[in-house]
Amino acid sequence: MSTLIANDLRMGYTSGKLRAEVLRGLSLTVDAGQLTLIAGPSGCGKSTLLSILSGLQRPDKGSVMALSEDLWRSNRRSLDHFRLRHTGFVFQGFNLFPALTALEQVMLPLGYMGVGDRAARERARVALDEVGLTPRAHLLPAELSGGEKQRVAIARALVKHPQLLFADEPTSALDAANGQIVIDTLRRIAHEHGTTVLCVSHDPRLVTHADRVLEMEDGVIWNDRRAEPKSENAS
């Protein structure tokens, strides 16, 4: 089932007398239960596309239907509510709070959703267990490795039970071993939870682990291919 449908997206930036077109009439559909990778060279529009599809940045033209809701016809309050309830985000820089433990980091979005402290703590423990970090739940970010920080960020996104999970360069700051753990985790979330996982990355390993690869260049998708995914036990 297609949970994201974008039609004729156009986006550009003006600097002085110069106009740079970042997205040039791009259209796509993204299905649930799959890890979909957006790949391409720097400056091709990948991160801009991800921002528009996730409701963080308004396009100049075009539409985005997410879970049957027209994102860019919603008002700001409705859009914020949609993102809080239905989406999770994982970024290159982890975006963790220095003074909060791993458990507290994961509990945080549930507080904004009105979940009580006891239920939030239990859900956060389950999410940390899913990414293999239960023994590290009491530690601060400064006491965690880069890979562990990214797994905390994934647990924080996962704890909301999002239908849409967006990841922007989630492995670029990690070594090979930790990057592989993150890739495997994102793929497992898509397959086991039926989540739509959309990832922007330069990491070539993601090409072989993604269910689908959208290759971008100059603001358009020039190649759309279904990858042959590896088995869940493959490295």
pLDDT digits (tens, 9 = 90+) for 126-172: 999 999 999 999 999 999 999 999 999 999 999 999 999 999 999 88
Q: For residue 235, what pLDDT is reported?
A: 44
- For the chain, what are the domain ranges? 29-44+82-226
Assess whether pLDDT exceeds 90 at residue 88: yes
Ordered DSSP codes for 5-39: EEEEEEEEEEETTEEEEEEEEEEEEEETTSEEEEE
> Percentage of residues in the chain with pLDDT exceeding 70?
96
Q: Report, at the CATH architecture level, how domain 29-44+82-226 is classified.
A: 3-Layer(aba) Sandwich (3.40)
Q: pTM of the entire structure? A: 0.90
Distance of alpha carbon 85 from alpha carbon 83, whole angstroms: 6
Up-side HSE of residue 20: CA atoms within 13 Å toward CB? Answer: 9
H-type helices in 102-214, by residue range? 102-112, 117-130, 146-158, 176-193, 204-209
Residue type, 124: A
pLDDT of 220 strictly over 80: yes
CA distances from 162 to 31, 46, 83, 100 (A): 14, 22, 9, 22
Q: How far apart are CA 63 and CA 58, in angstroms?
A: 9
Mean pLDDT of 170-180: 87
How far apart are the C-alpha atoms of 126 and 159, rounded to whole Å?
Answer: 8
Distance, CA of 94 to CA of 89 (rounded, Å): 10
Coil, helix or strand for 232?
coil
CB 93 within 8 A of CB 102: no
Helices then strands, each counted (H, E), the chain: 7, 10
pLDDT of residue 1: 63
CA-to-CA distance for 9 and 53, rounded, in angstroms? Answer: 10
Which of 113, 154, 165 lies closest to 3 in space, CA to CA? 165
Q: Which residues contact 29 (CB under 8 A, 6 or more apart)?
A: 2, 4, 5, 6
